[in-house]
C-alpha cells in the first residue's frame, strides 16, 4: 500500500486534485469529512462535546451548531485543546480503520489540510502540495464558495506559508491556472509515479539499469535528502544509530549522478537484515534482497544491505551499514573531507565526467562505479591524514 499525503492552503485546489485521484482509483481519506462524521448527530463524539461545552452548542435539530461551538472553543487555548482532545483521537482511529480496510495494492490518498502545520509529512511515502497564489485563492473562496473575503484572508493567514509547504513537498502542483492544467498533471502523476511507486514497493522491483549520467550539482539535493531521512528515521526509530546523507549529492558544488545516497547505520549486521521489511514498507525496497560487499583493498569483505527508493520520480540508494565494519565511517569521512577541499572536489568531478563519457553506452553503471573507486580509494588515504590532523569524528 502506498500512503500519499495531500495538502495545500485553503482554496488552492486540494479537493479538485483529490477527486481526480479518486476517479483514477485512489482510496481517498478526507480528514475534513471525518472530522464532521465523528461529531455528527447522535454520535458519541457529539455527546462529549455537549458534556464539555454545554447544550447551547446544539442546533434545534440536535446537530452541532458549528458557529456556536467555534465561539466557545476558539476563545482560548484551553478550550481549543479540550475540543481537539475529543475530535483528534476519533479522527485518528477512523483513519486507521480506513487505511486497514484498503487493499494491499491500494494507493491511499490522505487529504489533510494541516499536514504541514502538524508535522505529519514523514508518515507518508509521498507528499503532494497543491498551491495557487493567495489572491487567486481568496477569489475562489469568495466566488465559488461564498466565503466573506475577510474570513478567507484570516484563514489563509492562520495556515502554513508557501515556503513551509514547499519544504515538505515531494510533488508541487501549481493550480494557479485553469483546472484542466492541474488535472492533466494529476493524470500523469498517477500513471507515471503513484502506480509504479506502489508496485515497486509491493513487488520489490529494482530500478531499471541505465548508463551513468553525471548531472550538474542541484542545490535542492540536501533538502530532498533530509525529507527522505525524516521518513527513514521515523520508520526505523531506535533500531538505527544514525541516518545520513552521503555520497556526491551531499557535497555542495559537486556534479553527480542524480541519485541520492543515504546511509542508515545499525549496531550489528544482523540488525541490517532485521530492518529489511521496515525499510521496504517505508518505500525503500531491498534492491535484490542480498548482502552486497563494499569495495575495499584486500582483507575481509565489508557486507552491507542496499535498498533503493521505490519512487520512480526520485532515485535513491539506501546503504544499511553496521558499526561492525569501517565502511559507515569512511562514507562520512569522505563526504566531510571533500566538502572541506574544493580542489579535491573539482578533481573528483573531472574524473566522474571523464568516466561517464567513456561509459556512456554501457547500459549499466557498474564499470563506471568500479573505475571511479580507484580515485576514491586513493582519496581515502588523504582523507585519513586530514582526519588525524583535524581530530575529525563522524
Ligand atoms: P481546497 O480543497 O484546497 O480548499 P478546492 O479544490 O475546493 O480547494 O477549490 C476551491 C474552489 O476553487 C472550488 O470551488 C473549486 O471548484 C475551485 N477551483 C479549483 N481549482 C480551480 C482552478 N484551477 N480554476 C478555477 N477554479 C478552481
Domain CATH number, residue 47: 3.40.50.300
What is the pLDDT tens value at each position of the chain, 394 positions in all? 999 999 999 999 999 999 999 999 999 999 999 999 999 999 999 999 999 999 999 999 999 999 999 999 888 899 999 999 999 999 999 999 999 999 999 999 999 999 999 999 999 999 999 999 999 999 999 999 999 999 999 999 999 999 999 999 999 999 999 999 999 999 999 999 999 999 999 998 888 888 889 999 999 999 999 999 999 999 999 999 999 999 999 999 999 999 999 999 999 999 999 999 999 999 999 877 677 887 666 677 889 999 999 999 999 999 999 999 999 999 999 999 999 999 999 999 999 999 999 999 999 988 998 899 999 999 999 999 999 999 999 9
Q: Does the C-beta of 145 come closer than 6 Å to ligand 1?
A: yes
Residues 161 and 231 in one domain: no
Helix (H) or strand (E) holding 188: helix 179-189
Contacts of 179 (CB under 8 A, 6+ apart): 13, 16
How far apart CA 64 and CA 72 sit, in angstroms, is 13
Residues 275 and 193 in one domain: no
> Contact, 271 vs 329, CB < 8 A?
no
Tell me the best of 5, 13, 33 to mutate to test the pocket of ligand 1, counting ligand atoms within 8 Å of each CB and taking the most: 13
Q: Does the C-beta of 41 come closer than 6 Å to ligand 1?
A: no
Domain boundary among 143, 178, 202: 202
**Strand pairing class (316-322; 260-266):** parallel
Residues 268 and 385 in one domain: yes
CATH code where residue 373 lies: 3.30.460.10
CB atoms within 10 A of CB 292: 15
Q: Does the C-beta of 144 come closer than 6 Å to ligand 1?
A: yes
CA distances from 31 to 6, 137, 217 (A): 10, 20, 39
In a domain, 154, yes or no: yes
Residues 338 and 197 in one domain: no
Please compute Rg for the chain using Cα positions: 25
Q: How far is the CA of 135 from the centre of ligand 1 (A)?
A: 13
The domain tally of the chain equals 2
Q: Does the C-beta of 184 come closer than 6 Å to ligand 1?
A: no
> What is the reported pTM?
0.93
Q: How far is the CA of 127 from the centre of ligand 1 (A)?
A: 19
How far apart CA 13 and CA 131 sit, in angstroms, is 7
Domain boundary among 167, 202, 237: 202
CA distances from 118 to 66, 79, 123, 286 (A): 23, 19, 11, 31
Domain around 384: 214-390
**Nearest residue by C-alpha to atom 6 in ligand 1:** 13
How far apart CA 191 and CA 345 sit, in angstroms, is 39
Residues 186 and 237 in one domain: no
Give which of 23, 30, 38 is closest to 7, Cα–Cα: 30
How far apart CA 72 and CA 75 sit, in angstroms, is 5
Which ligand 1 atom is the nearest neighbour of the CA of 182? 23
In a domain, 207, yes or no: no
Q: How far is the CA of 137 from the centre of ligand 1 (A)?
A: 8
Domain boundary among 175, 202, 229: 202
CA distances from 334 to 2, 143, 228, 240, 292 (A): 35, 57, 21, 21, 20
Nine cell digits for residue 129:
502540495
Amino acid at each position: 500500500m502506498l500512503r500519499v499525503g495531500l495538502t495545500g492552503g485553503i482554496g488552492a485546489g486540494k479537493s479538485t486534485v483529490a477527486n481526480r485521484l479518486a476517479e483514477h482509483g485512489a482510496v481517498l481519506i478526507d480528514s475534513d469529512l471525518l472530522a464532521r462524521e465523528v461529531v455528527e448527530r447522535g454520535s458519541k463524539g457529539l455527546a462529549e462535546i455537549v458534556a464539555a461545552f454545554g447544550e447551547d452548542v446544539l442546533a434545534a435539530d440536535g446537530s452541532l451548531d458549528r458557529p456556536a461551538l467555534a465561539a466557545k472553543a476558539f476563545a482560548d487555548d484551553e478550550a481549543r485543546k479540550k475540543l481537539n482532545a475529543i475530535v483528534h483521537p476519533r479522527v485518528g482511529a477512523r483513519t486507521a480503520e480506513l487505511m486497514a480496510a484498503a487493499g494491499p495494492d491500494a494507493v491511499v490518498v490522505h487529504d489533510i489540510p494541516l499536514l504541514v502545520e502538524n508535522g505529519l509529512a514523514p508518515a507518508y511515502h509521498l507528499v503532494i502540495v497543491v498551491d495557487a497564489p493567495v489572491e487567486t485563492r481568496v477569489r475562489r473562496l469568495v466566488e465559488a464558495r461564498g466565503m466573506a473575503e475577510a474570513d478567507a484572508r484570516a484563514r489563509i493567514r492562520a495556515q502554513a506559508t508557501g515556503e513551509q509547504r514547499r519544504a515538505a513537498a515531494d510533488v508541487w502542483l501549481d493550480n494557479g491556472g485553469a483546472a484542466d492544467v492541474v488535472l492533466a498533471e494529476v493524470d500523469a502523476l498517477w500513471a507515471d509515479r503513484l502506480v509504479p511507486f506502489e508496485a515497486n514497493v509491493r513487488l520489490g522491483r529494482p530500478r531499471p539499469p541505465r548508463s551513468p549520467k553525471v548531472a550538474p550539482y542541484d542545490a535542492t539535493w540536501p533538502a530532498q535528502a533530509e525529507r527522505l531521512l525524516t521518513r527513514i528515521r521515523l520508520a526505523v526509530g531506535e533500531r538505527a544509530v544514525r541516518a545520513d546523507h552521503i555520497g556526491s549529492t551531499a557535497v555542495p558544488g559537486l556534479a553527480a549522478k542524480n541519485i541520492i545516497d543515504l546511509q542508515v547505520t545499525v549496531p550489528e549486521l544482523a540488525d541490517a537484515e532485521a530492518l529489511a521489511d521496515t525499510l521496504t514498507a517505508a518505500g525503500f525496497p531491498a534492491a535484490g534482497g542480498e548482502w552486497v560487499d563494499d569495495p575495499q583493498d584486500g582483507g575481509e569483505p565489508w557486507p552491507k544491505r542496499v535498498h533503493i527508493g521505490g519512487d520512480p520520480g526520485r532515485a535513491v540508494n539506501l546503504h544499511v551499514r553496521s558499526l561492525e565494519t569501517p565502511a559507515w565511517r569512511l562514507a562520512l569521512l569522505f563526504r566531510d573531507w571533500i566538502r572541506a577541499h574544493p580542489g579535491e572536489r573539482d578533481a573528483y568531478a573531472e574524473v566522474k565526467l571523464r568516466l561517464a563519457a567513456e561509459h556512456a553506452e554501457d547500459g549499466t553503471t557498474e564499470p563506471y562505479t568500479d573505475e571511479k573507486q580507484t580515485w576514491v580509494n586513493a582519496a581515502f588515504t588523504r582523507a585519513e591524514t586530514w582526519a588525524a590532523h583535524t581530530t575529525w569524528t563522524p
